[in-house]
Structure 1
Amino acid sequence: MQYTRETAINRLLESYRAYFNITMFEGEQYPLTAICEFFEHSEKYVISRQASLWAANCEEFVYLFNMEQLSCEEFERCRDFAWEDGQKRANIGPGHMYTYVTPIFICDSCREDAKAALRKSRLYKSFRFSLHGWIDFHTAVFEVEKGQITTNRSGKCVEKILKNVLFNQKKRRRFL
């Protein structure tokens, strides 16, 4: 299926809507379309909830950027914004397991220097020797004209999701 940037973003937002809290943006200083937030709390207890064995909080923040062409300077600017904003949104402390900060760039074309910078980007931070969890940076770019997805090393899981959502042509059943 041939996409435009808008149809690709709408399809991604439709798939994220079931599990993520979505905040839409327009006219900001960044080409940011939406921030999708996912929170999960898991715990195991014995007999009653007061006797908790363990608890883990997991978070993911997906930033959808929409632009004609992704340049290296624009990538670095948006990457730094997403990383800083993701760290502010993260709830670090006891019980925190991980936070993923995931900027996804939807663009018509991407310059080679931006792809190289995207592939090399590796941001990671642990808290109290990982006792209070960590933050990892996943990023991807979807070039609409080529139908090509490029990710950093940590973003391989994002590539699988994008391929499944954007290129899976099977009809999906919806249960109400």
Structure 2
Amino acid sequence: MSCSREEITSRLLDSYQRYYNITIYDDAKLPLKALCEYYEAAEKYVVSRKVNLWTAKGEEFIFLYEMPVLTRELFEKHLAEARETGMKLAHIGSGHMYTYITPVFVCDSCEPEALRMLQKCSVHKTFLFSFHGWMDVRLAVCQAAEQAVATNKAGRCMEKNLKRILFS
């Protein structure tokens, strides 16, 4: 059973809508179809909220791109765009634990060079020697023609769920 790019994008957005704030972009000329934002916060305090022991805030930004063929140039361009936008959206500071910037590319096919670059891409940044948390870039590509999912090392935790959502 083969899925089209549009069907894969629709399934992903359906699965994300429970947990993420989703902004959909309807411009057919742009490959960016949606931005999904997730925020969480936890804290521990004693007696009252004024005596805060610790705070941990986490956030994830998923950039959902859809295109016929993922080329090396498109991969580099959209990765840089997602990193820049994700860092602008991030709330770095006291209490920040992590930020995940996650570009997901939905395509019919992927050039071998672009796939190699995606799988080898490793972007990790710490803020104030990790006192203000860290940022990781997690990447995934969903190929409709081959019904395959590939990720970078940081994105391996997403691979099983993507396959279950898309191809089961």
Say whether the fold is shared (TM-score over 0.5): yes
1:77 has 2:80 as partner: no
1:15 has 2:38 as partner: no
Farther off after superposition, 91-100 or 29-38: 29-38
In structure 2, C-alpha distance between the alignment counterparts of 1:67 and 1:45, rounded to whole Å? 47
In structure 2, C-alpha distance between the alignment counterparts of 1:166 and 1:89, rounded to whole Å? 28
How much does 1:29 deviate?
6.7
Identify unmatched segments of 5+ residues in structure 2. none
Give the TM-score of the pair, scaled to structure 1. 0.91
Query: Which ranges of 4 or more aligned residues in structure 1 deviate by more than 6 Å?
Result: none
- 1:1-176 map, 5 Å: 1-27=1-27, 30-168=30-168
> Cα RMSD over matched residues?
1.3
In structure 1, C-alpha distance between the alignment counterparts of 2:44 and 2:116, rounded to whole Å? 43
In structure 2, C-alpha distance between the alignment counterparts of 1:11 and 1:30, rounded to whole Å? 19
In structure 1, C-alpha distance between the alignment counterparts of 2:167 and 2:53, rounded to whole Å? 42
Q: Are the aligned partners of 2:64 and 2:103 in contact in 1 as well (CA < 8 Å)?
A: yes
Identify unmatched segments of 5+ residues in structure 1. 169-176
Deviations 1:58-96 (A, max 9, x none): 000000000000000000000000011111110000000
How much does 1:28 deviate?
7.5
In structure 2, C-alpha distance between the alignment counterparts of 1:37 and 1:142, rounded to whole Å? 20
In structure 2, C-alpha distance between the alignment counterparts of 1:13 and 1:79, rounded to whole Å? 20
In structure 2, C-alpha distance between the alignment counterparts of 1:144 and 1:166, rounded to whole Å? 9
Matched position secondary structure for 1:162:
helix
In structure 2, C-alpha distance between the alignment counterparts of 1:29 and 1:60, rounded to whole Å? 26
Matched position secondary structure for 2:132:
coil
In structure 2, C-alpha distance between the alignment counterparts of 1:76 and 1:109, rounded to whole Å? 16
In structure 2, C-alpha distance between the alignment counterparts of 1:47 and 1:164, rounded to whole Å? 44
Q: State the identity as a percent.
A: 47
In structure 2, C-alpha distance between the alignment counterparts of 1:137 and 1:84, rounded to whole Å? 11
Give the TM-score of the pair, scaled to structure 2. 0.96
